Amino acid sequence: RSVPDARSVPGERTVPGKRTVPVKRTVPDERTVPFGTILGDAVKNSITAILTIGGFVVLFSIIIHILTKTNVINVLAEITSAVLSPFGIGKEITKGILSGLLEVTTGSSITGYALATPLFVKLPAASFIIGWAGLSVHLQVTSIVSKTDISIRPYLIGKFAQGILASAYTWLALKIFHGTFLLEGTVLSRGTLLPKDQFINPNSLYSLSNSIAGNPLQILVISVLLMLTTLALFIAISFTVKQNRAVKGRLEL
């Protein structure tokens, strides 16, 4: 990497009605930075970024734990679940969503352990949490771009829209492939103990693989349609934003 440095070189300047006057002008001079300095700066910046990310994760995990112990999350979950209960969203899944608004890992974990909630409710909720990514991640991004002129507003709007679309597409996929992907318990963490009546039947896994393998064209067509729908929504939103900016610009003039 080269760092510009200023140095003076002789030049000429013509004064109207007079002779040419010699002047000095400043031009950039390049100075090579040692490789060790560049490597050291890269390592320092990497360690700082890692510590910042880890600090945000720990901070929001503690905040969620405090809000849970003080029953703040429970009270909010009671109020929210009362409104969302007609859609099959109960208190446990609401606690996961509220926690996921703050920190994605904790929210996803709470959502996954909501045993009384059916899978077709947990999967869209988890998709929204992962798409939104949590306030912890957004503050990490803000801390990185704060020294630039990049606006964080489009990013936040996009992440919220991503959560909504991911949840909607997951719900739609569950409706289309009902009975194909609704095999709960096929993916378990290592060392998980199941009651005898919840052992996974190998025949069900075989039927699942056959049902997926037997409809590749259907899965491909639906995936392409979902992708085109997302692209159309993105183009429509971008066009609307540009039109609003153009209207505001004309009004300011």
What pLDDT, in 10s, does the model give residues 125-148? 999 999 999 999 999 898 888 888
pTM recorded for the entire structure: 0.62
Alpha-carbon span 233 to 226, nearest angstrom: 11
- DSSP secondary-structure letter at 147? T
pLDDT value of position 16: 55
Backbone angles phi, psi at 27, to 5 degrees: -125, 150
Token pair for residue 46?
């990497």
Q: What is the overall mean pLDDT for the chain?
A: 77
Backbone angles phi, psi at 29, to 5 degrees: -120, 140
Within the chain, strands assigned E span 2-14, 20-32
**Residue-level pLDDT, tens digit, the chain, 253 residues:** 444 454 545 555 555 555 555 555 555 555 788 888 889 999 998 998 889 888 888 899 899 889 989 999 989 999 988 888 887 788 888 999 999 999 998 899 889 888 888 888 888 999 999 999 999 999 989 888 888 888 888 899 999 999 998 998 888 888 776 655 544 444 444 444 445 554 445 554 445 445 544 466 777 777 788 788 888 888 888 888 888 888 888 887 6
pLDDT value of position 72: 92
pLDDT tens-digit readout, 170-205: 888 887 766 555 444 444 444 444 455 544 455 544
pLDDT value of position 144: 84
H or E segment to which residue 52 belongs: helix 35-69
Q: CA nearest 120: which of 74, 159, 177, 82?
A: 177
Q: Are 144 and 186 in contact (CB under 8 A)?
A: no
